[in-house]
Structure formats: structure tokens, C-alpha cells
Amino acid sequence: MCGIVGYVGRSEAAPILLDGLRRLEYRGYDSAGVAIIAGDQLETRKCAGRIADLGKLIGKDTPVGTYGISHTRWATHGKATDQNAHPHFDASGKLALVHNGVIENYQALKDDMLREGNHVFVSETDTEVLAHLIGKIYDSSGANGSTPPQNSKSRLVAAVRAALQQVIGTYGIALVHRDIPDFLVGARRGSPLVLGVGKDENFLASDVSAIVAYTRDAVYLNDFDVVAVERDKFEISSVAGEGGKYEVSKVEFTDEDIKKGDYPHYMLKEIYEQPGSVRDAMRGRLSHEECTAKLGGLEMTAAELRDVRRIVLTGCGTALHAARIGEYIIEQLAGVPTEVEFASEFRHRNTPMTRDTLVFAISQSGETADTLGALRESRRKGYRALGICNNVASTIARESDGGVYMHAGPEIGVAATKSFTSQVTIMALIGLLLGRMRHLSTSEGSAIIDALEALPAQIEETLKLTDQVRAIAKKYASVNGMLFFGRQFNYPIALEAALKLKEITYLFAEGHPSAELKHGIIALVRPDLPSVFIAPDDAVFSKNMNNIEQVKARKGPVIAITSGACGERLANIADDIITIPSAPEFVTPVLSVIPLQLLAYHLAVELGRDVDKPRNLAKSVTVE
């Protein structure tokens, strides 16, 4: 959510900042801007709209300078306008600031400065208030034209610390000052910020993908870190002024990994990467000898795992749907009572918990604000809280008591695809591990491992359905929405399929348990509203058949996702049938979701939507 790129070095800043912003487009935004120090001038270009619009603006009159900051904004306070776009400035106009997050007490701070009489605010944003506050503290500390540059640097860092101590809320910030050459300041609390370490150049970014083309050495800042950045050095301290601890990490992926290659969209590329991402989620984690899973990252002994009597899975959006499948998997394979909580609800309500409860926080980015809040609340109350995420250096990964790394590789498309199937795969590994510690026999464990190891090849087989799915998408391109139904393990797939359709086509979509059809939803059935049933060859197929009959009796079109010989039984009922490979119930969701991902994708393409950058959405949601 929002994007920050900062640069200080010996190269021209404008092309580097603009390139970094382009690499962050997937995060979601509605305006963009840069601020570059050119000699004794603070040059700014910003506008509402796409980065391409900003590029045109910069191309007309390119700022010349070797350090600066840039930003893509996802509106929280104020509409998407040129004035509300970042960077924002202090009262002197010398300090420029970009900011991700929300300053919750901005209005009180703003009112105090307005009463002082020398502050004029030109935007509706909370960010401008923070810029004014830092600038006010810096100016009042005695900085002037005769102040030695090194002293000005320390004064600016001190002003940032003092201002942030007055702030309530979340922030990832980067700022420059016109009178302080070759110097950036960054800070974070609740919104990610990474320092990229180069040779005679350094970077700041909200996501390492923005700078991986320039350096693969990175320092992932912690909450309350403040970093002072120059060409050839940096210094990390805390908001309180204490020395900061840090580690320079090597970024695991390369610039090539985050390119689209021959695919028209990142989303399609990532759908087709799922055989590999599912395989990588299992790599080295299955033991044929012991017929179980090996998850050393949980940091729990066998005795501690056996003592778990209750599991809580929490997440948001697609991660929540993976958790819902995990609930079915863990209860079936391990017999451990499991429940799923919206992270946003779990963190704010008084949920009765027992000492033997284990909490899993699930997040692709590892930075989701509500999920991070749920993790922290769990740990605050003394429960063991583990993370499942795709970013080993993320806040959730660092603050959890242990966890499982997804190994899905970079996911750029806003609509999550491969991260979802990796999360479901990890749920199966957890179920297998806990089950073998309880009641599963060696033969049952071996059968589960065989089913898991067969998945990558079955996914490849399922991806061959893309032409059939594209034809179905063309057939239904004029509809105003769709209903999705599933039972048991595939009920969450109905939710996920509806979410995918909403995210990238903007069509009405709802997901429900199939049996809920007759409890109200059937009132929506009509000839121009297709119903998609996930009805594989499983224990509840006949129940799904009954629900399909009810829709057809009311002239509702039906698209069926099925497996095995069930397609023959559906031939005279469903309007369109998509047959996936047969698999045990606990892995079928990984296969059944793929044609539904493709359906949403091809419908979006038919409708001319911006698939990778859907309106109003952000990839990493770091605000509440």
C-alpha cells in the first residue's frame, strides 16, 4: 500500500526514482510524485493518476540532482488530487516528506500549529501535518544558513525523532532538506521500510523489489528505527535516540524474477508459476521415512506440539480463505479443534483463549496491518504465535515465535494466486505433522505425502484447461455478476473465487456454502446470473447435485467444476463443465481454485480491466 523510493549517490536521481516507482505499481496507488535537490533548489513533480503521467511531467522538465525521494499514494486522507499527492512540505518549503501509513492524531497536531499562526496547509493529508511538525522543530532548534552541514544533519535527525515521539499512528517515511546536501532520513513504525546498500550510493524503499535492480544488499528496518543515509554510509538509531541494531541481508530474488517475461500480465504469469511454487512450499519438508512433515521453523518441540489443544488461524482476504481451508484440513488430519478469525476482529475483541492454544498469523507480505496486530495481541496475552508468510524479512516473520516460510517467490499481481495455493499447501503440511503425532498411521501418512507430491503435476494438467476457461469467459462476458457455491473443503474456494472476480473484474460476486442456497440466496437466481458450483467427486457430490438441480429449475445458468466420472452425471444439467484431476479431499482445493483464477483473469481481460492494478486496491495493506 503506497510506495516509497529514495536515492542518494552519484547518478542522476530522477530515472532511478521513477524506475523504482514503476516497480512498485503493483502495490496500488492513485497519484505519484518526486522531490529532487537540484543545486540550491528543491524540484518537485507530482500529479494524480498513473506513474506514466508523472513520467511525462518529468520528461518535459527533468530535475537534475543526485539525491531525492519519490512516492506513489493510495488515498487515505483527501481525494486523489495533484495537491494531495506526495511529497509534502514544511512551512519553509525546504523540507520534503513522503509517507506511508496513517497519523491518527494529525488533526490535533494541525490545530496546534494553526493556532501558532505561521502554518498554512495546502492539502487535506495527514502527511503534510507531519512535514510541518518536523520542519517546525528543525527550524526552532537553531538551524540556519551558517550552521555547519554535519550539525544540520544531526539536527534534522533529532527533529525527526522529536516529531515522531508526538505522533500516534503508523508511518514509513523518507525526507530530504534543501539545505542539507546528499542526505536522506527515513523512519518506520508499522509500515515497512528497507535500506538498500550500494557502492557510493544508498537507497530507501517500502519494498525491496523497487531497488533489487541496483543492489541486493538490504537492511530491513524495525519499528521505531530512524536511519540517516548518505552516499557512502548510514546510521541507524531509535526514535528514543538509542543505537540501532541491524543486519545486512542478501535479497533472495533477482531483478529477472520480478519481470513479466512473455506473459501479458503478472497475474497470468503467477497462475502458471503454481506448479513450481507449490513444489517449493513442500521442498525438504516431507519425510518418507517417518511418513510426516518436517517444519523446523515452528521452533516447537514434539512435546510442545503434542500439547496443542486448540488452533486459531487468522488473516485477511485471500489469506483468510486459505485459513478456512486449513481449518478443515487440520481438523480432519490431526483432530485438533481449529477456528478461523478475521484478523481485524480478532485483535479488537476479547476472545477466550486457553494456555494450550496455538495461533497462526497468515500473510503473503508479512506486513498486513490487521494480521500483524492480531499476532502482537496474541503474544501480548502470552500465547505462542507463529507466522506463515512469503517474506522472510517481514515484520510478521521477525516478530513471531516461529513459523513457515512459503517460498512462493515474488508475487506482483495485486490479486493473490500462487501465494494462496502455497498457503493451502502449508496448511496440509501442518495437518500432516500434527496428525502423525496423534492418530495417523504410517500408511495414512504415506498416502498424504503421495497426494501432496502429485500436486505439481496435477496443477500442470489443470492449467491446460485455460482455452476452455477462456471460451467460458467470453460466453459470460456480458453478465453483471456470478454466484459461487462449494461444500466442505471447497466452500472457502467459493469465497476465494468470488473475491478474485470482484477484485479484477469489478463485477458483483458472492461465495456461499452450497446448502445455503435455499436459505435466501436462491432469491437471486435468474437467467442472467450464472452460478458456479465447485462439485468434485467427493463425499458431498450428491448434495451439490441437488443444489445444482434447484438452480436449473429456476433457469439459472450453471458452470460446474468437477472431477473424475462426475462430469458424466453433470452433462445433462450443467451448462458448462470443467473437469480437474481427481485428488483426495484435502488437496482438491488447490486444483479447483486454478480454473476459477483463470476464469476471473480471462473475464477481466474480456472486459478491458487493468488486471495487475485493479482500481482502489493495494497489494500490501499496511493501514487499518
Q: What is the pLDDT of residue 76?
A: 81
Angle at 91 between CA 108 and CA 202, to 5 degrees: 100
- The CATH-assigned architecture of domain 3-254 is 4-Layer Sandwich (3.60)
Residues 6+ apart with CB under 8 A from 330: 311, 336, 338, 427, 430, 431, 434
Q: What is the pLDDT of residue 143?
A: 46
Q: What is the pLDDT of residue 355?
A: 86
Q: To which H or E segment does residue 491 belong?
A: helix 491-505
The two beta strands, 234-238 and 225-229, are antiparallel
Distances, alpha carbon 218 to alpha carbons 71, 195, 442, 561, in Å: 19, 6, 44, 44
CATH of domain 464-618: 3.40.50.10490
> CA–CA separation, 491 vs 510, rounded Å?
12
Q: What is the pLDDT of residue 148?
A: 54
Note the Cα 318 to chain centre separation in Å: 10
Q: Is the peptide bond before 87 cis (omega within 30 degrees of 0)?
A: yes
Residues 6+ apart with CB under 8 A from 357: 308, 309, 310, 311, 312, 383, 384
Among residues 2, 291, 316, 389, the one annotated as catalytic is: 2
> Is-contact 133 109, C-beta < 8 A?
yes
Residues of the chain with CATH 3.40.50.10490: 260-461, 464-618
- Of 274, 373, 364, the residue nearest 319 (C-alpha): 364
Domain 260-461 is classified in which CATH homologous superfamily?
Glucose-6-phosphate isomerase like protein; domain 1 (3.40.50.10490)
Q: What is the pLDDT of residue 1?
A: 57
- Of 553, 557, 573, 547, the residue nearest 475 (C-alpha): 557
Note the Cα 520 to chain centre separation in Å: 33
> Is-contact 36 204, C-beta < 8 A?
no
Q: What is the 3-state secondary structure (H, E, C) of 142-207?
A: CCCCCCCHHHHHHHHHHHHHHHHCCCCECEEEEEEECCCCCCEEEEEEECCCEEEECCCCEEEECC
Residues of the chain with CATH 3.60.20.10: 3-254
* Overall residue count recorded for the chain in this entry: 624
2 is catalytic: yes
Q: What is the pLDDT of residue 376?
A: 93
- Measured over the CA atoms of residue 276, residue 277, residue 278 and residue 280, the dihedral's sign is positive
619 is catalytic: yes
Specify the pTM.
0.85
Distances, alpha carbon 510 to alpha carbons 302, 322, 507, in Å: 41, 17, 10
Please, what are the averages of pLDDT over each run of 10 residues along the chain (624 residues)? 90 95 82 93 93 92 94 86 94 95 94 92 95 95 57 94 95 96 95 94 94 93 95 95 86 80 94 97 96 95 95 96 98 97 89 89 91 92 94 87 93 93 98 97 97 98 98 96 96 98 96 93 93 93 90 94 90 94 96 98 96 80 63
pLDDT in tens, 178-209: 999 999 999 999 888 999 999 999 999 998 98
3-state helix, strand, coil in the chain (%, to 5): 40, 20, 40
Q: What is the pLDDT of residue 624?
A: 62
